[in-house]
A = this chain, B = another copy of it.
Amino acid sequence: MSERVVPPAARRRRRPTKQGVVLSEELIVETALRLIEEHGADALSVRRLGRALGADPSSLYRYFRHTDDLMLAITDELIGRTLSTWRPTGDWRADLRDLGLRMHAGALAHPRAAVLSSYRVTGRVHEIQAVETILGVLRDAGFPDPDAVRIYHAFVDQALAFGAFDSASVALPQAAREAETAVWRATYARLPADTHPHIAATAHHLVTDMSHSSYPAALDLLLSAATTRLSQTKDKS
């Protein structure tokens, strides 16, 4: 029992399950994603996944050591989908802006999966490819290695963190989501100026601004700070 998972390359004996399904890593990941999107993050359990696949739950342990392994495979699949259509143009700032917005949009397209997976380090192919590409964009732009790594880290984490953060709102039950947007109109917009002068003075801006994601603004702030830093670096040399 010490090792029941066989590397994908060595898989050959593809016996169908009792219900006639031929399992594979891809099929399992695909089905898991569908399950999450259709029935919520809580719907993902080994038993339910087995049922959805037409296989005994324990069969899945031939493909994944534990649930966490499966989660990582799902995550990597999502990273791959996000990057598959992105191509850097040579303008580092525009490229990173585009990529950041894509990552954010990608998370929002699969909010329930994003909430579970955004913070994981997979060490799988798609992730490695992404790291290499982004680092390349920054180093080619002229950032010294320590800056490149620091900005890479902040950039990626910001995109992932906001992706998960905004996904969490989207994944909320509809009633709860509506209740939260109502708070800005019903509570904040009605605070009297004598007790809460700053909120009262900006109430109009708050109501319109708080209903959107702040990620684009945060991303632009990060990129403009990076631009400033790069020009300072070039002045010195």
Contact = CB atoms under 8 A, between A and B. Distances in A.
A140 to B, nearest CB: 9
Contact of A188 (B128, B161, B165, B184): B128
A123 B25 CA distance: 44
Interface stretch (A55-63, A76-84, A152-160): A152-160
A9 interface: no
A15 B151 CA distance: 58
Nearest to A183: B123
A27 interface: no
Given A119-B168, A221-B221, A225-B224, A162 B157 contact: yes
B221 A136 contact: no
A132 B196 contact: yes
A218 B180 contact: no
A127 to B, nearest CB: 9
B136 A198 contact: yes
A24 interface: no
Interface stretch (A43-51, A90-98, A202-210): A202-210
A188 B131 contact: yes
A166 B209 CA distance: 26
10 contacts: A119-B168, A121-B180, A121-B183, A123-B187, A128-B196, A131-B199, A139-B201, A149-B206, A154-B221, A157-B215
Q: Which 8 A-B pairs have the closest CB atoms?
A: A161-B165, A123-B183, A221-B225, A135-B198, A161-B161, A149-B205, A119-B168, A154-B218
Interface of A: 68, 118-123, 128, 131-132, 135-136, 139, 145-146, 148-151, 153-154, 157-158, 160-162, 164-166, 168-169, 173, 176, 180, 183-184, 186-188, 191, 196-199, 201-202, 205-206, 209-210, 213-215, 217-218, 220-222, 224-226, 228
